[in-house]
Structure 1
Amino acid sequence: MVPIKTKKELLKKLNNINKSNSLGLVPTMGALHLGHASLIKRAVAENDFVVVSIFVNPTQFNNQEDLLKYPKTLTEDIDLIKKIASDIIVFAPTVADIYNNTTESNTYAFNGLEKVMEGAFRPGHFNGVGTIVEALFRLIEPERAYFGEKDFQQLRIIQKLTEIQRLPVQIVGCPIVREPHGLAMSSRNERLDPKVRKKASFIYDTLLSAKQKFGMDNAFKIKEWVTQEFNENTDFELEYFEITDVATLTPIQQKIENTKYRAFIAVFADNIRLIDNIALN
């Protein structure tokens, strides 16, 4: 399994696929783990052909140190992909090839979805995400594209992207895959000290407790409780905890009947930023 390195080479490969065959896309930044594997397996099950892109997108990093530290493990990534299916197309382009030597992001208006939580703490992040995802969609023209719910805000942004840019792609959201102790799988987990990584079950445990409290307490009290829990745990630093409407990602003011809510959290552990979320109803 030799990765395709250029858009020209990829188009040549895709042009040999019969148009009656379905094509699925799993966009990744590499450093693949079992969470990515679950996306790829679902794509393989639901499509005749699958492209897995591996591209560390510079325009979605507002912290350049984070970009430099992001793990690049292409050989190991290909080994994982081969174990799923031998005919998966791996697209691993360079920054210059993707951005045509101009590494700048487009500017999007996502109807406010981009202004809260990750958008508030990572300026420009979702413009970068939108830029690379739109470029991949227009280049590959998949029927379906697969994204994990761990990055639920990103999932909603990409759903909105297909709507505003009129991109004929079905966005498939896939459940969060967790480590045995509950921590949501992420490429960043590999950078955690093993002891801290084990203790990080605290994040998911807190979300589970918040879900339980959601049936009894108001959102303000739950947010106060979560903040206090992290104030008392010196292993972690809470950046934000929010309960929002699933559709609009608007922070809750009061519960509205027949409205779906989700809790979102961002935490620093070992100076490494971790995010997670959970459906509340």
Structure 2
Amino acid sequence: MTTATRTAIVRIVLSVAVVLVVAVLLVPGLADRLRSGVVAGVGALRALGHGTLALGDGFVLAMGVTVGTALLPVLLAGASRASRPDAIRRRAVASGVIALLLAVAAALPAAYPGDRFRSVALAGLVGVGIGALADAAWHARARAAHASGQTRRVAWTLAAAYGLVVVLVATAGSPVDGGAYPTLVRAIAAGQRLGAPGWLGYDAVEFTANVLFFVPFGFFVLLLFGARAWWVGMLGGFVASCAIETVQALFLPARFASVDDVLANTSGAVLGVLVGIVVLGRARRS
């Protein structure tokens, strides 16, 4: 596929996406029906058990917004042919502006527009950040194809320490956040009193912590083997998380194995790979 053909296809996709978003915002009741459909779908997945999407509806919807807005920088990158760092930054800024405009449009018909705006804006800007990271990683992939010997030596040392931490946390006889639970709940309640979105509850914090916990996994794999092994970091994160949840389900009755943890850990490994590509690419450029 030529660059011109790819650019034309992406522009068509962008146009269709704009039409769909405008329709959702302007057609009366369409947004509510869409939300109800998503909630019903989430409920069907929860019925599968095993901790599948055992999260609040608000957080699940926020994740949907995050995934959707993460596509903005990627689509804008596909619609243009510029790959310079300043072009990547411009796409990120443009995507952020679009996300904020969508948040404003979503908030206008709401009973509590301020709450709706903060909820959609936060989820949208997180998505834009992830999309911008993917955009930067795509354009740095060639420079990050191979890691230097010094980078590998440092990465092996840090990866060994990280692996030890993962084993200790994963095989602990009780949840590692058990002692901090009351403090976390109070902090979350205080944050919501100060205006944090309602979906930013304990389940959201726990899910995010599981994402961040596996970011080093993908990062170290990338530093060890280079960008050509990007799939090793992503697939390895999934396999490692499945292994951890299996051990907890079979041998640690005080721990609760869940599909959500696998989803969060794998997402963290993917983010770690993207960060690793960007870091390694910049290191090789300098």
Structure with the bigger RCO (C-alpha within 8 Å, sep 6+) is 2
More strand by share: 1
Larger radius of gyration between Structure 1 and Structure 2: 2
Task: Give 1 or 2: higher helix fraction.
Answer: 2
TM-score by length of 2: 0.23
